């Protein structure tokens, strides 16, 4: 047992150095980091949820579904083999489910093995604070065990937010968790909310041939992304028969025998077999009994933390989606590691200021750094270098004629201010730009580097040359 802080209660309880609540990316990495630092660690997780939302209902199933859709529809091969090309004519939910269940099973196995190799105890049940150092772990039969720890890391994530005015029936009117349990691929789908999750699923179902309508209250979607790339994405989605209704608010969703009718405040009626709400997410803090720990969540269930991920109660940390933005698996993992190191007295440097964003739409989008709009708003001059996949041999070979990579370069010190990629492999390719930015490299590194040929990575060199030629032109005019 370590530490004897405050008025900690140790009675008929099991005691650990570090107790992590939730086994998603944040909790998992926090637990393993603490175990590597030779602490006695336990993770509390509900039954059948090892790996968290990430493995069971979020990132992994959605990304596997996307892979299954791309393969079975043959969408990416149609440039080569014609618009009627399909690997399978009628893609069923069973076809898609086989792949997602296989990957989920394997991933759960990997996580269980990592936790057990590192001697992290897994306690099954729902955790609820009894006091600032003790939680009650309650299983599905209502049996409970008290567990105490010197440090506690909350990594309980989020659940889909559900507006009170909508009657979800898990069949016709669903949220993003429900989309994985649909009995059939719907002929028509209304997606309410054009955030990342909404648009990713909209693109997957559109690729399957579902007639998708996206309803979004705001006038734009993904407004944190490069405008040109969002326009390209919208063009592609429209080409897959997606209808966008921007600046529209849903007034009601009425269930009907053949599906549901979505009524918009503007008076429009949209009939569809399925309606999926993707209206944000709510922190999983309602059942944590935070008040017993001296903590409180905001109206969206989120917990505030400082730069070390400490809550208002210094021995309790919070990481991952439960603390809000950016709510990504990748950042949650790093937050978990940083929090665990701090809790164990071996602090790390904080999270890097540049975080990549990956959006797994069809086609995919990824970026790091700033957008043209942000730079313009802050009066930072920049030059743009663009490379289009259709001008790369690899682009032609794989039949991606729409992809593009855009570099935003500072004319002052030639550093990379932003990298924006659209098309095949965008989320992987982005990391080349991230490495150059992170190491303080300039556009000249990319101009001088030799890239394998034929690759999509070559797009960096082409875009860098484009930017450098534009900078040279400006310099000539200034003479």
Residue 321 interacts with ligand FAD (CB under 6 A)?
yes
User: What is the token pair recorded at 127?
Assistant: 């955790």
Residue 170 interacts with ligand FAD (CB under 6 A)?
no
Residue 286 interacts with ligand FAD (CB under 6 A)?
no
Of the candidate spans 319-327, 382-390, 393-401, 412-420, the one that interacts with ligand FAD by CB under 6 A turns out to be: 319-327
Q: How far apart are CA 241 and CA 268, in angstroms?
A: 19
Q: How far apart are CA 208 and CA 19, in angstroms?
A: 43
Site for ligand FAD in 183-202 (CB under 6 A): 197
Residue 44 interacts with ligand FAD (CB under 6 A)?
yes
Residue 25 interacts with ligand FAD (CB under 6 A)?
yes
Residue 288 interacts with ligand FAD (CB under 6 A)?
yes
What is the closest distance, in whole angstroms, from the C-beta atom of residue 159 to ligand FAD in the complex? 8
The binder of ligand FAD chosen from 31, 33, 41, 54 (CB under 6 A): 54
The binder of ligand FAD chosen from 49, 96, 362, 421 (CB under 6 A): 49
* Contacts for 101 with CB less than 8 Å, ≥ 6 apart: none
What is the closest distance, in whole angstroms, from the C-beta atom of residue 6 to ligand FAD in the complex? 23
The binder of ligand FAD chosen from 205, 277, 360, 389 (CB under 6 A): 360
Short-list 108, 74, 76, CA closest to 91: 74
User: What is the token pair recorded at 384?
Assistant: 């743009």
418: left (phi over 0), alpha (psi -120 to 50) or beta: beta
Of the candidate spans 38-46, 103-111, 304-312, 450-458, the one that interacts with ligand FAD by CB under 6 A turns out to be: 38-46
Closest CB to ligand FAD among 130 and 446? 130
Cα 198 to chain centroid distance, Å, stands at 12
Q: How far apart are CA 457 and CA 56, in angstroms?
A: 32
* Number of residues binding to ligand FAD, judged by CB under 6 A: 39
Listed as own residue / partner, the contacts of 431-434 with beta carbons closer than 8 Å and 24 or more positions apart are 431/356, 432/457, 432/460, 433/368, 433/369, 433/407, 433/460, 434/354, 434/356, 434/368
Closest CB to ligand FAD among 42 and 322? 322
Short-list 304, 317, 264, CA closest to 132: 317
- Interface contacts to ligand FAD, rule CB under 6 A: 21-27, 44-46, 49, 52-54, 58-59, 62-63, 126-127, 155-158, 176, 197, 284, 287-288, 320-322, 327-330, 332, 358, 360
């Amino acid at each position: 047992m370590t530490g004897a802080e405050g008025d900690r209660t140790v009675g008929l309880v099991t005691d650990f150095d570090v107790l992590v609540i939730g086994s998603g990316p944040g909790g998992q990495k926090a637990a393993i980091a603490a175990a590597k630092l030779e602490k006695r660690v336990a993770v509390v997780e509900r039954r059948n949820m090892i790996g968290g939302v990430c493995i069971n209902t979020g990132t992994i199933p959605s990304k596997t579904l996307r892979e299954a859709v791309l393969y079975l529809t043959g969408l990416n091969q149609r440039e080569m083999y014609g618009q009627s090309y399909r690997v399978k004519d009628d893609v069923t939910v069973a076809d898609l489910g086989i792949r997602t269940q296989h990957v989920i099973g394997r991933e759960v196995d990997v996580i269980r093995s990592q936790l057990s190799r590192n001697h992290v105890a897994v306690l099954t049940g729902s955790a609820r604070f009894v006091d600032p150092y003790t939680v009650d772990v309650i299983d599905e039969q209502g049996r409970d065990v008290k567990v105490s720890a010197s440090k506690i890391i909350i990594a309980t994530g989020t659940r889909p937010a559900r507006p009170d005015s909508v009657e979800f029936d898990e069949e016709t009117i669903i949220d993003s968790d429900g989309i994985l349990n649909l009995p059939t691929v719907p002929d028509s789908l209304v997606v309410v909310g054009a955030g990342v999750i909404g648009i990713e699923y909209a693109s997957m179902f559109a690729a399957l041939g579902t007639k998708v309508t996206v309803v979004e209250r705001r006038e734009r979607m993904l407004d944190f992304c490069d405008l040109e790339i969002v326009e390209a994405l919208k063009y592609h989605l429209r080409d897959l028969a997606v209808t966008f209704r921007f600046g529209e608010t849903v007034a009601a969703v009425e269930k009907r025998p053949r599906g549901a009718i979505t009524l918009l405040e503007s008076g429009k009626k949209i009939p569809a077999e399925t309606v999926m709400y993707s209206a944000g997410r709510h922190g999983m803090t309602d059942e944590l009994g935070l008040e017993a720990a001296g903590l409180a969540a905001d109206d969206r269930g989120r917990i505030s933390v400082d730069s070390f991920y400490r809550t208002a109660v210094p021995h309790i940390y919070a990481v991952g989606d439960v603390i809000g933005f950016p709510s990504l698996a990748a950042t949650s993992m790093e937050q978990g590691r940083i929090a665990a190191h701090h809790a164990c007295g071996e602090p790390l440097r904080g999270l890097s200021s540049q975080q990549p964003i990956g959006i797994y739409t069809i086609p995919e989008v990824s970026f790091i750094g700033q957008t043209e709009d942000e730079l313009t708003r802050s009066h930072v001059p920049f030059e743009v270098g663009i490379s289009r996949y259709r001008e790369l041999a690899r682009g032609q070979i794989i039949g991606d004629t729409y992809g593009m990579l855009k570099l935003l370069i500072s004319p002052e010190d030639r550093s990379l201010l932003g990298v924006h990629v659209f098309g095949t492999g965008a989320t992987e390719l982005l990391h080349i730009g991230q490495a150059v930015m992170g190491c303080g490299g300039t556009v000249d590194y990319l101009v001088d580097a030799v890239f394998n040929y034929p690759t999509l990575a070559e797009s960096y060199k082409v875009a860098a040359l484009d930017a450098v030629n534009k900078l040279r032109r400006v310099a000539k005019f200034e003479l």
